[in-house]
Every structure is written in structure tokens, then in C-alpha cells.
Amino acid sequence: MKKIIYLDHNSTTPVHPEVLKAMVPFYKNQYGNASSLHAKGREARDAVDRAREALGDFLGTEPQDIVFTSGGTESDNFAIKGTLLRNKDSGKDHIITSQIEHSAVLATCRYLEKKGFKVTYVDVDKYGIVDLDQIKNSITDRTCLISIMHANNEVGTIQPIKEIAKIAKEKGVYFHTDAVQSFCKIPTNVEELGIDMLSISAHKIYGPKGIGALYIRKGVKIEPCQHGGNHERNLRAGTENVAAISGLSKAVELFKDDYTEKAKRVKLLRDRLHKGLSENIEELYLNGHPDLRLPNTLNLGFNYVEGESLLLNFDMKGICVSTGSACTSGSLEPSHVLAAMGIDTVISQGSVRFSLGDENTQEQIDYCISVIPKIVKKLRKMSPLVK
């Protein structure tokens, strides 16, 4: 089989062998329902409790503040719809978000707009950083929630969420952050950051797909996201996915003590890739903030070529990357993130995201540096855009 160099970790990550090992018992002997009162049930309940404790601990909060969900998308939907539906009768029907959110947030907001809620989509600068003054000036008596992502999935730009949290608190508005990309890469202590709600997902951190969590600060008024039995403090009914919850917890445990060191290693590889490509390719642009950026993310604009052609040609060499976000690939619409940043469409259409991970090696990066410039050269030769 062809050797694969996987540089698409912001789309998803491989399940860590230790994570898989932690999950297997729940598909075998430990099959109990966590709501059952007998020995088998208690076994499952213990596993869920332990996972909740581990996650709460890592986020700097109490286990009771964690609700397990089916992933980042559900957590975002839950946080936004849950607070708006619950608080609209007290006249709170306004959301402030940004133009560069993940579709899980943007599509939820657009849905609520159709249902009569008001949404403000604040601008970002050329690096993808939100306009704090615009957030401040958009707040009215009707504002219920500010939802701004911690780090962007396409370009990696990290938002000043501590400042946003402070603004929200001063005005008595809830603050939710989609931390799916920042979780286990940069600090996400909810107390230090002053966050009311925070979304995470397991499959971006070497855990299984289909499991995530929403942190909900005590006192936040929110509607349940699913109705049924008394699971998850009556906020999310449904028999707990004990295996996946244990997998999520194991994935976090594997990052807990040394995620900053892991991030440093990945950042060195990323910067090596950036340097190597810059030295060998003319008119190469970095999309995103040079410093305030996720350590693993490198979004580059290759002038005069189509991102899709780059992706397909990289793929033929075993290099996996993405253009735009995974959810919008297949469409030739320019990325909404790059458009909001004011990136020229010629550059944005030739933009590719490299997102590195723990299993990438220097050898793999050096292979990319040797192969990619040749591909770019070949494609530019065929490009009608080149003068």
C-alpha cells in the first residue's frame, strides 16, 4: 500500500491505540446500562463518573458541569438553541457570533434567525481576529449569548476569548466558545478564561467519532437538548455511550500532562514545512495570524492555482490535506473564513490547509518539502492566471 502522510488532523485524527483499548471492554463484558442499579449497571456508571471527573479536572471545573453529547456539532447546537429557547420569554432573543465560525454554529444561528431570533455576525481582521469593539457595541438589553470560537479550524487563528468573556460578564450576557480545535492544543481552563459554555469533540484529539461534551457553568439557564429519561442532569436524555465516553476520557488523559510539549514538537514540524515551502515556492501566502495561531495549523495560499487541483495532486503522492473546511469541500465556493478575512479570491481559491498531528515525523515533512514545489510548478505552468 502507498505510504500516506496524513496532514488533515483538523478534520479528524486516528484513534490512539490506548483509546481503543480503553473502549473495548464496554463492547464486551462491561455492557451494563449506566442507569441500572445492579452490579453491571454500577460498573458502567463508575466508568461514566470517572470520565466526567477526568474531563472536569482537565477543564478546571466540577464534574457536574460536564454534559456528554454526540460531538462538537451537537454541543454547539445545544449551547446556542438551549440558551436562546430558555431565555426568550424574558426578552433575550439576540445572539452575537462571528463570520468565521464553524458551520455547526453558523447554521444553527441561521436557523434561529428564520425562527425570529436576531443574530449579529461580527467582522474579523485580515488575520481572522474578531473585532472586540464591534462585539461590545452590538450588545443590547436583548442579547442573550455571545458565541465566538476559541481557535478557527481553517486558519488556526486564536481569538481573545478571555477579553470577550470579560465583556460578556460585565453586560450579563452568556459566553459560549467552540473549543473543538483548541482543546488539548492550548490551555482551555474555563475558570481562567471566564467561560460559561464550552464545546469539545473527541475525534479531533485521537478519540472516537460521535462523542463530545458541553461544559455548562452552574447557573446558566438552558433548555434540554433531548427529552426522555433522566440522563445527564435531565439536559440530554439517552442511554450513555459508555465506551465512547471512556474513549474520550482516555484521549484527554493521554494529553493531560504533556500537551504543551506535544504542541511544541508539532509546531516545530509545522514551521519547518512552512519554511521549506516558502524557500522553494514563489508567491506563497500565509492565511491566519503569524503567532496567535494553533501550533499544528498552516493554511497557505498558492497564488495562481486551484486548491482542489493541489489537493488531488498531493493525494496522488500520498499527502492528505484539505481546502476550505471538510464540510464545504466538494463545493467550489470560496471559504467563508478566508472571504471574511478579506483574502483575494485568487489566493483563497488556491488555499490549502495543512494540519499536523502527533504521529507526523520530520521525514514526512521533508518529503512534502521535496514534492510540493514540483507540483505547484507543474500546475502553474498550466494555469491561465499566470502571465
Cα 246 to Cα 207: distance, rounded to the nearest angstrom: 9
Contact window for ligand PLP (CB under 6 A) among 14-22, 55-63, 201-209, 364-372: 201-209
The string of DSSP codes covering 250-266 is HHHHHHHTTHHHHHHHH
- Between CA 54 and CA 83 the distance in angstroms is 26
Give the interface size with ligand PLP as a residue count (CB under 6 A).
15
Q: How far apart are CA 261 and CA 371, in angstroms?
A: 29
* Contact status: 204 vs ligand PLP (CB under 6 A): yes
For ligand PLP, the binding residue among 85, 180, 216, 338 (CB under 6 A) is 180
275 sits in which H/E element: helix 259-280
Rg (CA), the chain: 22
Distance between start and end Cα atoms, the chain: 40
The span from the CA of 290 to the CA of 293, in Å, is 7
Between CA 33 and CA 223 the distance in angstroms is 25
Closest distance to ligand PLP from the beta carbon of 69 (Å): 9
φ, ψ of residue 6 to 5 degrees: the values are -90, 110
Which stretch in 69-77, 252-260, 278-286, 287-295 sits in contact with ligand PLP by CB under 6 A? 69-77
- Closest among 3, 10, 2, 4 to 293, alpha carbons compared: 10
Does position 357 interact with ligand PLP (CB under 6 A)? The reply is no
Known catalytic residue at 327: yes
- Considering only the stretches 58-66, 198-206, 252-260, 328-336, report the one whose residues sit in contact with ligand PLP under the rule CB under 6 A: 198-206
Toward ligand PLP, which CB reaches closer, 6 or 304? 6
> Is 97 among the residues that bind ligand PLP (CB under 6 A)?
no
With CB under 6 A as the contact rule, the residue among 5, 34, 59, 104 that binds ligand PLP is 104
Q: How far apart are CA 325 and CA 88, in angstroms?
A: 32
Interaction of residue 146 with ligand PLP, rule CB under 6 A? no
341 binds ligand PLP (CB under 6 A): no
Contacting ligand PLP (CB under 6 A), which of 73, 108, 120, 177? 73
Comparing CB distances to ligand PLP, the nearer of 252 and 376 is: 252
3-state DSSP call for residue 299? Answer: strand
C-alpha grid cell, residue 353 = 490547509
Q: Which of 109, 184, 320, 327 is catalytic?
A: 327
135 scored as a contact of ligand PLP (CB under 6 A): no
71 in contact with ligand PLP (CB under 6 A) = yes
Rank residues 202 and 347 by Cβ distance to ligand PLP and give the closer one: 202
Cβ distance to ligand PLP smaller for residue 103 or 383 = 103
Write down the least CB distance from residue 216 to ligand PLP, Å.
Answer: 17
Minimum CB–partner distance for residue 41 and ligand PLP (Å): 27
Give 366's strand partners.
Answer: none
Q: Residue type for 355, please?
A: S
Rounded to 5°, angle at Cα 299 from 297 and 304 = 165
HSE on the CB side for 13, CA within 13 Å? 26
Positions marked catalytic: 327
Binding residues for ligand PLP, rule: CB under 6 A, are: 10, 71-73, 102, 104, 149, 153, 178, 180-181, 201, 203-204, 212
